[in-house]
């Protein structure tokens, strides 16, 4: 099965391959935040629920919750963000990823947007 990326109205993305999703915040979100100075990630093994807070990202402007795009269990965290939180600004959909989740309920993905829908959504915000 090919990788597929989905987006939330809170500006998280999740790239899903089989039953594992890699999660981060979108380029739009990191631009709104400004320079990221700290990222607080959940521990491996933590269960997260779709739409509930899962991590915190702090910038020079504000601290923001990062919400779980789907329900699942954290299988990995991006350790590099503790030393290099600016990866979130430099490469939000690459090296700036936050966590990997094992999806509990893949049908939840149907509630999320594809790229075209997300781009239309953020265009409506400006």
- Domain ranges for the chain: 4-123
Question: What CATH number does domain 4-123 carry, 3.40.50.2300, 3.90.245.10, 2.40.50.100, 3.40.50.300?
Answer: 2.40.50.100
Q: Which two tokens stand for residue 7?
A: 């987006």
Residue of 78, 60, 63, 90 lying closest to 22 (CA atoms): 78
**Model's pTM, two decimal places?**
0.95
- pLDDT tens for 52-110 read 999 999 999 989 999 999 999 999 999 999 999 999 999 999 999 999 999 999 999 99
């Amino acid at each position: 099965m090919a990788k597929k990326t989905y987006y939330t109205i809170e500006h998280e993305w999740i790239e899903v391959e089989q039953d594992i999703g890699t999660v981060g915040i979108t380029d739009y979100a990191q631009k709104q935040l400004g320079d990221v100075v700290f990222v607080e990630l959940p521990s491996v093994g933590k269960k997260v629920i779709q739409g509930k807070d899962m991590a915190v990202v702090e910038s020079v402007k504000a601290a923001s919750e990062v919400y779980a795009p789907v329900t699942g269990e954290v299988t990995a965290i991006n350790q590099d963000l503790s030393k290099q939180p600016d990866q979130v600004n430099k490469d939000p959909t690459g090296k700036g990823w936050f966590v990997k989740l094992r999806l509990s309920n893949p049908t939840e993905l149907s509630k999320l947007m594809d790229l075209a829908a997300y781009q239309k959504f953020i265009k409506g915000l400006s």
